[in-house]
Structure formats: structure tokens, C-alpha cells
A and B are shown apart, each in its own frame.
Chain A
Amino acid sequence: MPTVSLTINGKKVVADVEGRTLLVQLLREGQRLTGTHVGCDTSQCGACVVHVNGKAVKSCTMLALQADDSEVETIESIANEGELHPMQAAFKEHHGLQCGFCTPGMVMAAIDMVNRIPNLDEETVRHELEGNFCRCTGYHNIVQAILAGSKAMQS
């Protein structure tokens, strides 16, 4: 079995994986980082979004081997010493989650969104969420949360 070596949440990881192992499988099963979720098999739902080298990536759409040498960050790593990341805090404050299943992907996508686009408005946020499904919230509060989180991240 080939070996992949990468950094996950600041920790060096070396693992034997099958060629077909997806990054999300390595995270969930190999590393027991179960915060990253799987909601589909066609790369649509966004429940699996993580950051690879600082960019949002659907971890169901990337082979573990492709992440060789990369820095991967998951939802488990973004709170600072127990203090929520401003985007996490905004989701809580604005009730941007219900069942919580889409949430890790939403938060990781939202942080990436703010990193790329400094002045988010409602229309842009809605457009940018194209790759993230939520069945619970009707998106209203997710949009509010991201707008607030964006402000908080920049202040």
C-alpha cells in the first residue's frame, strides 16, 4: 500500500492508504476526525469541506494520496484553546445550524469565502454557497452568520 505523509491540524501524519482512499476517509476513519462529514457521492453537498493548503476543498473529491505533503485543516482545529473561531461564534449567535450535519463544511467554506472576498454582501454569500447544501435552516441564518462572521474576522 502506498504511503501518504501530510500535516493534519498541525500534526505530522504518515499513513498507508489504498490508492482509492479518499481524503475524507483518511480523516474520518484513519484519524478519527469525524467532524468532517459525508453527505453525498457526487461532490455536491459540501458537508466534507476542509482546507488544504489554506483553500477550501471537498475532501470527498480528493484522494488521500493527492494530499501528500499538504497542510490539511479540519473543523476540529479552528477554535483557539476552546475559544470559538469568529465564524463558529457567528454561526452560534445567528442560529446558523440546526442538525449540525452540514455545519462543519459550511463553516470551513465560509472562512475560505472571507479569505477570498473581503467585502461580502448577501447576494455574494448566497452565490458562494452554491456547493453547500443545508436541508434544515433554509439558509437565512447561515447567510446572516457568514456576514457577521466576515465582519468579526476582519475586525
Chain B
Amino acid sequence: MADDGIGASVRRKEDQRFLTGKGHFTDDISRPGQVYARFVRSPHAHASIGNIDTSAALSAPGVLGVYTGKDLAEDGVGAVPCGWTITQTNGELWNAPPHEVLATEKVRYVGDQVALVVAETLEQARDAAELVSVEYEVLSANVKLDQASNSDTAQLHESVPNNTCFVWGLGDEEATKSAFNRAKHIAKLDLYNNRLVPNAIEPRVALAERDSGDDSCTLYVTSQNPHLARVILSAFVGLVPEHKLRVVSPDVGGGFGSKIFVYTEECAVLWAAKQIDRPIKWTADRSESFLSDAHGRDHLTHVEMAMDDDGKFLGMRVDTTANMGAYLSNFASLIPTYLHGTLMQGLYTTEAIYCEVTAVFTNTTPVDAVRGAGRPEATYLIERIVDESARIMGLDPAEIRRRNFIPSDAFPYQTQVALEYDSGNYGPALDKALSTLDYKNFETRRANSETEGKYRGVGISSYIEACGLAPSQVIGSLGAGIGQFEAAEIRFNATGNVTVFTGSHSHGQGHETTFAQVASERLGVPIEDIDVVHGDSGRIPFGYGTYGSRSLAVGGSAIVKAADKIIEKGRKIAAHLLEASESDIEFTDGNFTVTGTDRSKSIAEIAFAAYVPHNYPLDEVEPGLDESAFYDPPNFTYPFGVHVCEVEVDADTGEVSIERWVAVDDFGNIINPMIVHGQVHGGIAHGVGQALLENAVYDESGQLLSGSFMDYCMPRATDVPSFEIGQTVTPCPHNPLGVKGCGEAGAIAAPPAVINGIVNALSSLGVTHVEMPATPQTVWQTIQNAKT
């Protein structure tokens, strides 16, 4: 292994600029003549809009324009679409109401946008926004998830009876019923998967600019997938034709799903930039982020597991109500269905499964993907019901998992819920995690804690995820309106250094380093001579962006494909220069060599020949050394792993402290272990945040109570321990790098590990479940209830 090749913890190339304050975040960009936008947002969760009086705002100092939904409608601006059509259990299509860029008839959540003010300075825009007077007729709000589909609950959209977007099912309902009929034991749980605010530390920004010379536009935006944004903005919202629109997402300060989507704000700003012909910048303040970034999770679930006398899983049924919020965000419908229902097999041989999901609208912020997206919800309910199953069977939680794991010789494994797992070997990951934690001596540690008046528990979570999104034809058949291949271009410059263009987007994942390692190893070019470019539809052929732990598996594979094309062409050029036959040319470590001789040309020499093609096989190959590739994966990838944590509960305060965290993940081959560990750390902290701290809470009138960092508890450094990270390696059999994806694993594995740990700690009190977030208050109350 080279020091900077595949498998080396190469220090990151991008760090220099971030560490010296020279990053290029969207808000760091200022364009000549730039002006500022501010949105007028609804203070009500549900209201009819009456007259909007913009006159005072229009005559305020510095104001250049005040726009309402009517202005956009008159200009033919379309609605923001949801890209995944759902067919319901009854065979009918879903109810997908439009999401207007600026609301015209009604507002449907606190923060819904009714007008846009543009002014010379941000302060002027803010001041003028206060002067826009909107008449509201306040309607009763629908905020309770368990009552949202009642006919007497306030109705959000005329076209959506009972606020029900869809009822969708997956699996074999009849077979599952018969499994439950045969069952000797049935475990049951009711769970709430708490609503999260994504809270990337960089707020969203949109800076739109029109070039009147050729009537083109550039949108700088905090996006995880600029090309898809371009397609949506042009084809669906109808703002600018695709070839006239450039979308640039430079350095992006964390995404966690929330920056996948095209939001109404960037649509409005782009449209307004065309009206006034000045660059317009909108930067969310954190309060706006809380209200308007798509939230995540928010599922109510009833789950049951049917077992035989040995604790073998015969059947599982799941009934989930998923909150869509007020409107359908771009991928809202995908999350509780094909990213959730399809994961119900977990790591187990459960013989029959049926999962039904009812998606409902409420007067809350739209809900979409947040780190893990559907898979944390699935894993949470599976791993909780597995622990509950162990409890009622009197089995060790590790033992019941072992009994039900899909055996390593059963792959490829066809699940009951549509996916085919390509590979897996679960036992060793569990064994490694347990031995690292010293599981067998846990009871001694529990007893020690008890002498100090603390309850100690151990929580196991074994997870699988479907990553590497996605085989285009498969998702197309399931309702996707998009493909999910990835694009790459490798350009040798005449002097031998290399630019790699990727359609993946890095917002913390370190692609500039990892992808350079891949290209370096493949092409034999030193890593310092390779630059990776991402996040610009004007420079990169195409891209489906970064989410669903897809970048290396799909984007990295595209880079490999492009590199192979370069080598193939290089071989022809080398054969000519070395006067040998092409089949005699070997390529190793960046050199084309005539087999069995020392006659050789470096790839840099080949690149030079390609750009100065004097002695060159022009009749056989074109000049230049620049190759593009598009890679569409044949299947998803299936990372898996086992996380084990040890928690201590203070019975007097209800406080939970995480004493140890052991993770054993299987991501297949690893390019840069340092970066992978970092991804796991961040994911776990996110999951611990969900399990212990974070909760988006609405009051009855639909006000977001936890709408700032003062009220919404983000994980701080004191809330998480140092992590012990390990791996097993089961390479993905179907992509050229054998990689699977690692960015979401921690957020998927962590919540059930924590809750299983707390329940285990309090099991002697008879506690069988604790709801997330397990705040001191919740835990203390649970203990009190158990004691009485």
C-alpha cells in the first residue's frame, strides 16, 4: 500500500483552506451590485390569507421589490415537486398537493412564506419585511400525528381527504397473518420516533444572479446536489431553461439531508433576480432554519414480532404513521416507504413481514430525509422489538440476535421486503463488538454501579442499511422520477497533472482526498497532482449529488470507470510511441511498459503526447486525454454492523451517561480509515442526540416550541464519550472498489443502542420501554412510574 493510496489515512487536502479561514461557503460569496432578500413568513400554523398590503414596504428606504405568490403565479412559476410517486395499497395513486413557492390562498405551517422583500441592504430588507401587512383568518391547527387523519381534524389541502397522502404497504400480509397464528410468543411495542431538526451548522443560503447579456442565470446555493436542483428549477418550477442555468454549490457546511432539496426560498430568490436584474442574496438566520429546513423522522409505530418456542422470528408486522408536515418536500414520500419498509428484514431470517405506512399532512414544517432517512426509523423499531422479544423469551439480547441472523452462506439473500442483500457476515461483527466491550463481565460492572446507586445497562444494536443509491431502473419501477447513477470526468492536463470532476458533492465527507486517493492509485499519479472538483453544474458533466451514503460506491465507481478509459486510451498511445503492439503494453504504477522490457512511458508523457500530438496515432485515437464515465450501480450496497454501548442511569436525576461506545461496522473495503472513523463518530453523535436530547416540539396551535438552540438540545462535547471504532470487511461484490458507504451508519445504529441500554439498565425495575428523547425528565418519570 502506498502512503497515500487506497487504505491509507491520508490527511485531508481540503483542510488547509478550512483551517485558515479560506473556505468558500456560499455566504462568503458576494457579487457586484448584490442586494438582499428577506421573507415574510406566516406566524400562524394554519390560516387563510386575506389581503396583503405591500405599499408601506415598497416605499421603505432601499426597497427594490416586494413580491407575493400572486406575482409568481401570474408569471407562470410552478410548484416545487415531490419526486417519488407512491402507489397505494388499494392500487390508487397518492394524493400529492402542490407546494407553491409563495403561499397564495392559505398558509399551512409557522414559517410558510407569503412574501419576499428585496432591498439594497439586509437591514433594509428586514425592516421592510416588518412593514408587509398580511390579513390572516386563523384556522384551527392539525398538529397531533395520531389524530391527523381523523375526519374532524382541520384539513390542510382540499385535494387530500382526511389529510392522508397515502396508505402504502410492503410484504406479504396473508403470510404474516398466518405466522402470527402459528406463533408461540408475540412481542409488541408502541414507539415514537422523535422529530429532528437537521441543524447543519451552516444555515442555508441562496445567491441568484442573472446575466442579461445572454439571459442566463447562476444560482449559488447550499446544496448537496446542484445538478438535480438545476433540473427541478428548470423543468418543474420553470424558472430558467436548464442550459441557461448554472447551479454552484461550493463548500457546504454540513447537509445531513437537509440540503438535498430544492426549497421554495431559492426558487423565489432566483425568480426575483430575474425581475430586478441584480444579484440577490438570501441567508437564513438560525430561527428561519428551524422553521424552514425540512425536518426528519416523526413516525408513530406499532410493531409486533411473532416467535416460536426457540425465539426464532416467524413474522413481523409494522404499522407506521409518518408525518409529512404541511407539504411534500422533494423526497418526503420515499423516506417512510422505500427507505424504511424495505429495511424491515433487518439482519434476520424473519419468515414473513408486512409493513404498512400511512403518510399524513399536519400543520408543521415539511418532513424529509435527515441523516439515515427511513433507515434509522426502521432500525429503531426492529432493534427495539428484538430486545423486547428477548425480554419476553428470557433470552440474552445477543443470543436472540445470533439465533436469527441470516447465516453467512445464505447470500445473496432475498428479503421479504423487495431487496436482495448481496453479501453479509453478521456473527463476527457481533462477536467483535461484544468482546471489545467485555460483555461477559458486564454483570460485575452492573453490580459495581449499583453500589454507587446507579443503574448500569448495556445496549446492543445490529443494523443493516441499503446504501449506494441507487440502481436507476429499480427505483424507476418503484416510482422515482429521477435516475441515480453518477458521473465523473478525469482530465489530464498537458503537463501531466489531473483534474477529477465528480457529480458527488462533498459537504464534510472529504471527497477531495478520498476520490484523489482512488484516482491516484488507479492512475499512478501522485495525490498532490490531483484536484477533485465538485458542486458546479457549469464544470461537471452531471451528477446526482450526495446523500444515502452513495458517493464512494457510485461516484467513486464512476471515477474508476473514467480512469479505466484513460488507461485504455493511454495504452494505444503508448503502443504507438513505444512501437509495440497494444496487447504487449502493461500499465502499472503510472507507467506503460512493453512487457518483459524496460521500455516505458509515464502517463505524464502520454498526456503530453496527447496534447501535442506530433508523434501520435491520429488515425486511431483522438488527441487529448479527458474521459467521462457514468456509472449506474447494479444493486444497492448493504453496510451492516453492531454498536454496543454501556450507559449509567442516575436514578435520582434521571440523567443518562454513556460510559462506553463500541462500534464494529462493515463498510466493505475502506479507502481512508481516518475519514471513515470520523464519519462514524459524527453519525453516532447524531444518533445519541436523537436518543437523548433532540426533539422538535409543537404546541397545540402549531408553534415550534423548540425553535432555537436555546430550546432544541444539540449534542455538545460533554454529551458523548470517546468512541471505540472497529471493522469487519465484507467487500461489496458488485462495485469495482468493493465499498459500501459509511456516512449514515452511526445515526442509524445509535438510537436503539442507547434506548436498549437504558431499558436494560432499568429492567430490574420492570421498565420495558423509554421514549426518545430519553431526557432526564422522561427517564426520571419512567423510574417513578415503575416504582409505584
Q: Which residues of A contact B (CB under 8 A)?
A: 18, 20, 28-29, 32-42, 44-45, 47, 74-76, 79, 84, 88, 91-93, 95, 97-104, 107, 122, 125-127, 129-130, 132-143
Q: Which of A40, A102, A103, A107 contacts B709 (CB 8 A)?
A: A40
A75 and B256 CA atoms in complex are apart in Å by 26
Please name all residues of chain B whose beta carbon is closer than 8 Å to the beta carbon of A76 when the two chains form the complex: 20-22
A147 vs B713: C-alpha distance when bound (angstroms): 26
Q: Is B277 an interface residue (CB 8 A)?
A: no
Beyond A129-B717, A138-B746, A143-B722, whether A98 also contacts B508 by CB under 8 A is yes
Q: How large is the interface on B (under 10, 10 to 19, 20 to 34, 35 or more residues)?
A: 35 or more
Complex Cα distance, B202 from A138, in Å, reads 16
Judge if B495 is at the interface, Cβ distance under 8 Å: no
Chain B residues with Cβ below 8 Å from A91 are 15, 19
Q: Which residues of B contact A99 (CB under 8 A)?
A: 200-202, 251-254, 507-508
**Chain B minimum-CB-distance residue to A92:** B15
Report yes or no: A35 in contact with B21, Cβ–Cβ below 8 A.
yes
Is B28 at the interface (CB under 8 A from chain A)?
yes
Q: Which one of A40, A41, A100, A138 contacts B723 once the chains associate, using CB atoms below 8 Å?
A: A138
How near does chain A come to B217, taking the closest CB pair, in angstroms?
Answer: 23
- From the candidates B203, B509, B717, B746, name the one contacting A98 in the complex (CB within 8 A): B509
Provide the bound-state CA to CA distance between A152 and B352, in Å.
59
Q: Report Cα–Cα, A101/B506, bound state, in Å.
A: 13
Known: A98-B678, A100-B18, A140-B681. A135 touches B23 (CB 8 A): no
Complex: how many Å from CA A138 to CA B685? Answer: 5
Contact with A along B1-44 (1 / 0, CB 8 A): 00000000001101111111111010110100000000000000
Contact B202 A37 (CB under 8 A): yes
Give chain B nearest CB distance to A12 CB in angstroms. Answer: 20
B202 touching A101, Cβ below 8 Å: yes
Chain A residue at minimal CB-CB distance from B21: A35
A129-B716 Cα distance, complex, nearest whole Å = 8
Tell me the complex Cα distance, A41–B286, Å.
6
Task: Write the nearest CB–CB distance from A28 to chain B, whole angstroms.
Answer: 8
Q: Which residues of A contact B23 (CB under 8 A)?
A: 34-35, 100-101
**Contact between A44 and B710, CB atoms less than 8 A apart:** yes
CB contact between B710 and one of A42, A98, A125 (< 8 Å): that residue: A42
Give the shortest distance, in Å, between B244 (CB) and chain A (any CB).
Answer: 29
Main secondary structure of the interface of B (DSSP, over half): loop
* A100-B14, A100-B251, A143-B722 known; A33+B21 contact, CB < 8 A: yes
Given contacts A42-B286, A140-B681, A140-B723, contact A127 B718 (CB under 8 A): yes
Per the 8 Å Cβ criterion, residues 154-211 of B in contact with A are 199-203
B581 interfacial by beta-carbon distance below 8 Å: no
B675 touches A44 (CB 8 A): no
A41-B285, A140-B723 given; A125·B717 CB < 8 A: yes
Could you show 8 A-B contacts with beta carbons less than 8 Å apart?
A: A29-B30, A92-B11, A98-B682, A100-B253, A101-B23, A102-B201, A102-B253, A130-B718
B contact residues around A32 at 8 Å (CB):
30
CB distance from B681 to the nearest CB of A (A): 3
B720 interface neighbour in A44, A92, A139, Cβ under 8 Å: A139
Of A20, A99, A122, A142, the most chain B CB neighbours within 10 A belong to: A99
Contacts of A29 in B (CB 8 A): 30
B287 on the interface (CB 8 Å rule)? Answer: yes
Q: Which residue of B lies closest to A25 (CB)?
A: B122
Q: In residues 674-689 of chain B, which contact A (Cβ within 8 Å)?
A: 674-675, 677-679, 681-686
Contacting A137 at CB < 8 Å: which of B12, B202, B252, B678? B678
Contacts of A79 in B (CB 8 A): 19-20
Q: Is B600 an interface residue (CB 8 A)?
A: no
Is the Cβ of A137 less than 8 Å from the Cβ of B682?
A: yes
Q: At the interface, yes or no: B132 with Cβ under 8 Å from chain A?
A: no
How far is A110 from B320 in the complex, measured between Cα atoms in Å?
45
Answer yes or no: B105 CB below 8 A from chain A CBs.
Answer: no
Contact B682 A138 (CB under 8 A): yes
Q: Smallest distance from the beta carbon of B514 to chain A beta carbons, Å? A: 12
CA distance A91 to B677 in the complex (A): 15
- Is B654 an interface position by the 8 A CB rule? no
B714 CB–A CB distance under 8 Å: yes
The answer to whether the Cβ of B510 comes within 8 Å of any Cβ in the partner chain is: yes
Asked whether B717 lies within 8 Å of A97 as measured between CB atoms, the reply is no
Are the C-beta atoms of B684 and A37 separated by less than 8 Å? no
Beyond A39-B203, A75-B21, 7 additional contacts (C-beta under 8 Å) are A42-B708, A42-B710, A92-B15, A100-B14, A100-B15, A138-B746, A139-B685
> What are the 3 tightest A-B residue pairs by CB atom distance, in nearest-first order?
A35-B21, A101-B253, A100-B18
B123 within 8 A of A: yes
CA distance A75 to B746 in the complex (A): 31
Report B231 CB to chain A, min CB distance, Å: 25
B residues near A125, Cβ cutoff 8 Å: 717
| A34→B19 contact, CB < 8 A | no
Instruction: Provide the residues of chain B in CB contact with A133, threshold 8 Å.
Output: 201, 709, 714, 716
- B678 in contact with A141 (CB, 8 Å): yes
Residues of B within 8 A of A40 (CB): 286, 708-709
Chain B residues numbered 681-727 whose CB sits less than 8 Å from any CB in chain A? 681-686, 708-710, 714-718, 720, 722-723
Q: Which residues on A sit within 8 Å (CB–CB) of B720?
A: 138-140
Q: Is the Cβ of A137 less than 8 Å from the Cβ of B21?
A: no
User: Smallest distance from the beta carbon of B505 to chain A beta carbons, Å?
Assistant: 11
A129 vs B398: C-alpha distance when bound (angstroms): 36
The distance in angstroms between the C-alpha atoms of A62 and B509, with both chains bound, is: 33
Please pick, from B11, B19, B27, the residue contacting A88 in the complex, using a CB distance under 8 A. B19
Q: Is the CB of B675 within 8 A of A88?
A: no
A50 to chain B, nearest CB (A): 10
Chain B stretch 365-422: residues in CB contact (< 8 A) with chain A: none
* Chain A residues with CB below 8 A from B201, complex form: 37, 39, 45, 47, 99, 101-102, 133-136
Name which residue of chain B comes closest to A143, CB basis: B717
Q: How far is the CA of A33 from the CA of B254 in the complex (A)?
A: 21
- Contact present for B21 and A98 (CB under 8 Å): no
**Shortest beta-carbon distance from B204 to chain A in Å:** 12
| Chain B residues in 8 Å Cβ range of A102 | 201, 253
- Interchain CA distance A125-B11 in the complex, whole Å: 23
Instruction: Find out whether the CB atom of B256 lies under 8 angstroms from the CB atom of A45.
Output: no
Most B C-beta atoms less than 10 A away, residue of A35, A75, A129: A35
Q: How far is the CA of A84 from the CA of B203 in the complex (A)?
A: 28
Chain B residue at smallest Cβ distance from A137: B682
